[in-house]
């Protein structure tokens, strides 16, 4: 049901109202509206109804300007049944809108009559409850306590198109399911991606600073230049944007690519603008967008040592580093 708003709504300080208009491919676009809308639903399986053609006498008397066939639909609520209203706000301050009846009076009645611009034969088919799909329900069950294994299985087994946004729900379980799944599905994909990224291994070149040239504070540090791959960056583009947002991460170091156990792990920070760090990276400019430069905090060794830990070899230039890597890997 749509009701026109006052022409001075914005001037009176109530602003401009919008409604979501459905477009192609499920897109919903905010559109300026001058009407207030509520949705009234009859209880499924709890009504009786009839559809008839509006005879010529009534048609001419009630709608003298009508140029097409009209139908009359009569709906009655069965005992215990009542309509459900989706919408917000009082209409006309709950004052009468038709004669002495308010909108609430109209919606609380047991019998309803509608005049519809559609032939009765077509309308009978549209009003056939047997042709309706099953009542909608979210496929997430009734258990909503924290259980990541159950959540992962539910998400895996119920992939499909996105649900329409909802602001009202048929029952509390649907409401709870939406609240829980909106949070779970927002983070579980990122958790899985983080686990997969942690399994990736890449070759790295290390650069050390000289005495009195430590960049980025008082803590001893060195730099690691990691050669990623375009395939890796393309595949994990979306999760990487989230995971490295604060620029801090942990680097796990292995003596050999095939080693199962790591030699150590270090705290690191992504160097967003490596060209501004002089002189330690002067000869190690990134060769392309697939290289990642990290400033690594040295957690072991004496305060007088600026070399990386556990015997990492360092080089004075990119060329020397590449030759050393080729020699160590055999290609």
**Residues 37-59, mean pLDDT to the nearest whole number:** 87
Can you spell out the DSSP letters for 219-260?
Answer: S-EEEEEEE--HHHHHHTHHHHHHHTTTSEEEEEE-SSTT-S
**What per-residue confidence (pLDDT) applies to 173?**
96
Q: Domain-by-domain residue ranges, the chain? A: 38-131, 148-197, 204-329
Q: What is the edge-to-edge ordering of all strands in the sheet holding 47-53?
A: 47-53, 71-77, 111-116
Asked if 289 contacts 240 with a C-beta cutoff of 8 angstroms, the reply is: no
Confidence band, pLDDT 50/70/90 cuts, at residue 4: confident
Asked if 84 contacts 77 with a C-beta cutoff of 8 angstroms, the reply is: no
For residue 328, how many other CB atoms are within 10 A of its CB?
10
Which range, of 30-34, 49-53, 192-196, averages the lowest pLDDT?
30-34
Q: Does the pLDDT at position 216 exceed 60?
A: no
**What per-residue confidence (pLDDT) applies to 110?**
95
State phi, psi for 317 to the nearest 5 degrees: -150, 165
**What per-residue confidence (pLDDT) applies to 284?**
56
**What is the length of the chain?**
331
pTM for the full predicted model = 0.65
| Mean pLDDT over the full length of the chain | 80
């Amino acid at each position: 049901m749509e009701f026109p708003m006052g022409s001075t709504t914005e001037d009176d300080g109530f602003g401009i109202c919008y409604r979501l208009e459905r477009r192609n491919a499920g897109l919903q676009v905010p559109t300026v509206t001058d009407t207030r809308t509520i949705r009234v639903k009859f209880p499924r399986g709890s009504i009786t109804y009839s559809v008839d053609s509006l005879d010529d006498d009534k048609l001419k008397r009630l709608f003298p300007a009508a140029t097409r066939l009209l139908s009359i639909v009569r709906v009655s609520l069965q005992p215990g049944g009542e309509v459900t209203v989706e919408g917000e706000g009082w209409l006309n301050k709950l004052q009468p809108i038709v004669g002495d009846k308010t909108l609430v009076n109209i919606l609380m009645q047991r019998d309803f009559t509608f005049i519809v611009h559609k032939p009765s034969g077509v309308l009978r088919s549209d009003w056939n409850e047997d042709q309706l799909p099953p009542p909608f329900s979210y496929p997430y069950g009734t258990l909503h306590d924290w259980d990541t294994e159950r959540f992962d299985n539910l998400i895996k087994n119920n992939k499909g198109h996105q649900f329409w946004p909802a602001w009202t729900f048929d029952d509390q379980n649907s409401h709870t399911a939406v609240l829980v799944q909106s949070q779970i599905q927002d983070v579980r994909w990122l958790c899985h991606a983080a686990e997969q990224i942690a399994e990736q291994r890449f070759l790295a070149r290390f650069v050390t600073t000289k005495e009195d040239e430590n960049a980025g504070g008082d803590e001893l540090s060195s730099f690691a230049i990691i050669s990623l791959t375009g395939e890796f960056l393309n595949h994990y583009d979306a999760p990487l944007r989230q995971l490295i947002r604060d620029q801090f991460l942990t680097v796990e170091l292995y003596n050999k690519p095939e080693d199962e156990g790591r030699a150590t792990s270090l705290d690191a920070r992504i160097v967003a603008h490596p060209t501004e760090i002089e002189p330690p990276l002067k000869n190690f400019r990134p060769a392309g967008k697939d290289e990642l430069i990290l400033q690594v905090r040295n957690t072991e060794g004496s305060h007088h040592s600026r070399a990386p830990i556990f015997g990492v070899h360092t080089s004075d230039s990119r060329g020397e580093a590449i030759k050393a890597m080729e020699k160590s890997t055999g290609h």
